[in-house]
Structure 1
């Protein structure tokens, strides 16, 4: 099989195409910021969903190509054995005793006389009788076609692997961009919320607090508080820090 694979060249690609099956090419996102700035890419989750759908389509194509490659791999040896048998029948001048498969695990002996014709299995329960020369030409044509198709499938598989990798990298870049955006938004919200410092203009009373300063949110009501009642209880002035 190696000799046949080397002797058959891969067919030429269609014009302006990179694959025989017409697989769409995945574009690598070099400028992630400009890509996410486009009107259709405002929502990071929707972009990831589109990329995930594209990744799933690539995986489905890869499954079909692998099934086709396995089928061709099994067909080529059968065609080669049939071609060898045609050559054997052409050289026979006397009857040959042989065995053939009658049913599962059941073989029967028979005598094969010299012949100039052979039956080829075409599939779909169809067999046709061919002269040995025509049978040999048809089998050679089928072998060449199978090897050519196998090389085309393998070429598409290599291209498809690159597209799957590119899509996975794009998904990772978009996800990381979304994480950084959320972190930056959280940091901005934290820095833009001002604090209010409570400052005492006198020494604090032991009954009130042992600390001279404390911080509260801006949402608190800011006012001047004057405590009355017990002797020695100081006035406290609340001022906002901008």
Structure 2
């Protein structure tokens, strides 16, 4: 008998079926062992492709979170220095690997890169709110991504176990046929 995993899919990732009885599984799908193995190998490859995409997204988010935190720290520093008359001397990245030095006095606003070559000016308070929201969203997305990766790893494991079970069942069936053929010849 074949039973499905507790979830049928998670965010487009199909759940793998745990196979308790290989013969019933093959008859339900109307497949022979070789066709089932080919299907399972293909599914395993699909899981691997999705895993690579999710890992790339995870790396991107893990790089993005410290950048957002750094921006929040800079805005907080600017707000803390506001009204003190004290200037801040800072090096900032103009382009990848190109930095400029700036002397900032009484900053009322900051400019934030939003992506796609778009920069907008915000008050320090608005920038803090926006960056906090972006940080929360990035952390929440990372949590979901980690859960998706765990679900995917579980499906890979289930599929690998199923492949092994179908293969072993097929080997056992061949041996039974071989034994039956050799006893009928005697």
The verdict on a shared fold, with TM-score over 0.5 as the criterion, is: yes
What residue is the counterpart of 1:37 in the other structure?
27
What residue is the counterpart of 1:197 in the other structure?
none
What residue is the counterpart of 1:57 in the other structure?
46
Q: Distance in 1 between matches of 2:14 and 2:156?
A: 11
Q: Which runs of 5+ in 1 are unaligned?
A: 1-15, 195-242
- How many angstroms does 1:24 deviate by? 1.2
What residue is the counterpart of 2:15 in the other structure?
25
CA contact (8 A) 2:9 2:15 kept: no
Assess, with a 3 A threshold, how the Cα gap between structure 1 residues 100 and 47 changes in structure 2: closer, same or farther. Answer: closer
- How many angstroms does 1:106 deviate by? 5.6
* 1:73-84 mapped onto 2 (5 Å cutoff): 73-84=62-73
Assess, with a 3 A threshold, how the Cα gap between structure 1 residues 172 and 109 changes in structure 2: closer, same or farther. Answer: closer
What residue is the counterpart of 2:3 in the other structure?
none
**Number of aligned residues:** 178
- How many angstroms does 1:39 deviate by? 6.1
| Match for residue 100 of structure 1 among 92, 101, 107 | 92
Higher relative contact order (CA 8 A, sep 6+): 2
Q: Say which SS state the counterpart of residue 37 (structure 1) adopts.
A: helix
Q: Which structure has the larger Rg over C-alpha atoms?
A: 1
Assess, with a 3 A threshold, how the Cα gap between structure 1 residues 79 and 182 changes in structure 2: closer, same or farther. Answer: same
What residue is the counterpart of 1:218 in the other structure?
none
| Match for residue 169 of structure 2 among 157, 170, 177 | 177
Question: Residue 162 in 1 paired to residue 126 in 2?
Answer: no
1:174-226 Cα offsets, whole Å, 9 max, x none, are 011111111111111111124xxxxxxxxxxxxxxxxxxxxxxxxxxxxxxxx
Q: CA RMSD in A?
A: 2.0
Assess, with a 3 A threshold, how the Cα gap between structure 1 residues 33 and 117 changes in structure 2: closer, same or farther. Answer: same
CA contact (8 A) 1:19 1:159 kept: no
Q: Say which SS state the counterpart of residue 12 (structure 2) adopts.
A: coil
Q: Say which SS state the counterpart of residue 34 (structure 1) adopts.
A: helix
Using the size of structure 1 for normalisation, the TM-score is: 0.68
Using the size of structure 2 for normalisation, the TM-score is: 0.87
Which of the pair is proportionally richer in helix?
2
Assess, with a 3 A threshold, how the Cα gap between structure 1 residues 170 and 102 changes in structure 2: closer, same or farther. Answer: closer
Assess, with a 3 A threshold, how the Cα gap between structure 1 residues 66 and 186 changes in structure 2: closer, same or farther. Answer: same
Assess, with a 3 A threshold, how the Cα gap between structure 1 residues 68 and 113 changes in structure 2: closer, same or farther. Answer: same
